[in-house]
Amino acid sequence: MLLALANWIAADVRAFNVFTYITLRSVLATMTALVISFVIGPRMIRKLTEYKIGQSVRDDGPQTHLIKAGTPTMGGALILVSIIVTTLLWADLRNRFVWVVLLVTLGFGTVGWIDDYRKVVQRNPKGLSAGKKLVLQSLIGLVAAIYLAFSVSAPSTSQFLQLFQAWLASGLSVDLSPKADLIVPFFKTVSYPLGVWGFIILSYCVIVGSSNAVNLTDGLDGLAIMPTVMVGAALGLFAYVAGRADFSTYLFMPHIPGAGELTVVCAAIAGAGLGFLWFNAYPAEVFMGDVGALALGAALGAIAVIVRQEIVLFIMGGVFVVETLSVMIQVASFKLTGKRVFRMAPIHHHYELKGWKENQVVVRFWIITMLLVLFGLSTLKLR
Amino acid sequence: MTLANHNLIWVKANLRNAQVKAADAAGRSQNQKVVRFWIITMLLVLFGLSTLKLR
């Protein structure tokens, strides 16, 4: 919105042309999201406390967590409001990728909201059943994946429609451009052609998988949000490079016209995340709940699909991956052999039970994420 | 053990508990302050980096 206003004023006052730069709008987006969080945060926490929207703590978890019972939850709504308002203010709203990420974020946030609402407000301990949650996530993920399969290959909306119609007319067997291939990091020219169905399946797995991975990681104060901020900021850099024809050619990355605008969205995610961390740092005054965790994970997944960095997301989001794997391994091991691999899953509880303080686990996981993000960013140059 | 000794031990135990709780509360709020200063530093670094482009 502000971009449109600045462009209108720029007709008379040339200085306002500076707002066309993605870099400036990204910095302003981060600060705007932060300010929104600082303004709305305390009020939201007061309202959540007033309405007794408090976290219930599982009694089979670490005993030190029992003190968290009653802490306001569903604070992810604060993050979503910050991201959406900031993006609407600073991003170019003519850009279809911005809308895809916003709608995916909102959609997954709504699924999380329904689950949290049933658990916390309606006091239904089951919330949304795992099956229904997966169905809703899959619906949104599939629609996004199908749209992105064609829009990543087509630089404009009219070409997207032509490609989509060609796919339907050919009996669902049209080839996509090399931009839609799976990019293998560290190699200049190695990429794996996915085809339409391969792209859709991979994108679906990335979006739904990262959404649930962030949700599983959200178990300690600040554990999920800081890695989300770091990975989001790094994806913003990838988006900027992918959107620039000169940079992407120089760095042997696919040029995705329009992807650069996602830098503004990533900056909004980073700013909103830091603003939320202000209140979520140990001891947390508010938790994000499923509404925040599912939405943020889906946003990261959608952005990674658009900028064609799925494997790099897997690397940078290593903490999320390990947390998810620890749960899968624990469940599989217990069901098959009756024995546990970890003292408790997800893996952050395992380290707590080993004697690490909660804050130690959180900060050490942040450090690991920082290293993984650096490693992921090095793929820009190491080819 | 005399009654006086028993009472002294009970007072010392309660004082120790209160000290542990106070130290714990101070540690918990100290962490929040530390993280909040980190967030402020991150913002200032971002602002500083923006001077690369905003000229």
What is the complex's ipTM, to 2 decimals?
A: 0.85
Asked whether the predicted pLDDT for residue B15 surpasses 80, the reply is: no
Return the pLDDT at A161. Answer: 83
Where helices occur in chain A by DSSP H, the ranges are 2-10, 22-50, 76-90, 96-116, 130-151, 157-169, 195-217, 225-243, 245-250, 262-280, 289-306, 310-316, 318-337, 347-353, 358-378
Query: Touching check for A277 and chain B: CB below 8 Å?
Result: yes
User: A284: nearest CA in chain B?
Assistant: B32
Return the pLDDT at A127. Answer: 84
Return the pLDDT at A19. Answer: 83
Of A21, A24, A281, the CB nearest to B36: A281
Window A:198-237, CB contacts with B under 8 Å? 222
Return the pLDDT at B27. Answer: 60
Return the pLDDT at A364. Answer: 97
Return the pLDDT at A189. Answer: 76
Of A27, A30, A278, the CB nearest to B36: A278
User: Contact, A301 vs A207, CB < 8 A?
Assistant: yes
- Tell me the chain A residues in contact with residue B43 when contact means C-beta distances shorter than 8 Å: 30-31, 34, 274
**Distance (Å) from the C-alpha of residue B51 to the closest C-alpha of chain A?**
10
Indicate the pLDDT class of residue B50, thresholds 50, 70 and 90. confident
Return the pLDDT at B14. Answer: 64
Of A110, A249, A270, A108, whose CA–CA distance to A188 is shortest?
A: A249
Binary contact (A282, B32; C-beta < 8 A): yes
Return the pLDDT at A2. Answer: 86
**Distance (Å) from the C-alpha of residue A176 to the closest C-alpha of chain B?**
36
- The secondary element (H helix, E strand) that includes residue A183 is strand A182-183
Digit-coded pLDDT (tens) for A204-241: 999 999 999 999 999 999 999 999 999 999 999 999 99
Which residues have CB under 8 Å from A73's CB, separation 6+? A48, A53, A54, A55, A116, A120, A286, A287, A288, A289
- Tell me the chain A residues in contact with residue B28 when contact means C-beta distances shorter than 8 Å: 282-283
User: Contact, A25 vs A266, CB < 8 A?
Assistant: no
Binary contact (B53, A24; C-beta < 8 A): yes
For residue A235, the tally of other CB atoms under 10 A from its CB is 32
Residue A225 Cα distances to A6, A219, A259, angstroms: 32, 11, 24
Return the pLDDT at B18. Answer: 65
Binary contact (A283, B50; C-beta < 8 A): no
Asked whether the predicted pLDDT for residue B20 surpasses 60, the reply is: no
Measured between alpha carbons, how far is A371 from A359 in angstroms, rounded to an integer? Answer: 19
Return the pLDDT at A70. Answer: 75
Asked whether the predicted pLDDT for residue B11 surpasses 80, the reply is: no
Return the pLDDT at A332. Answer: 96
Binary contact (A27, B50; C-beta < 8 A): yes
Spell out, as residue ranges, where chain A has pLDDT lower than 50. none
> In a mutagenesis test of the B interface, which of A20, A82, A278 is the best target, namely the one with the most B β-carbons within 10 Å?
A278
User: Contact, A183 vs A253, CB < 8 A?
Assistant: yes
User: B34: nearest CA in chain A?
Assistant: A281
Return the pLDDT at B37. Answer: 95
How many Cβ pairs within 8 Å bridge chains A and B? 36
Residue with tokens 């462009």: A7
Query: Touching check for A34 and chain B: CB below 8 Å?
Result: yes
User: Contact, A341 vs A330, CB < 8 A?
Assistant: yes
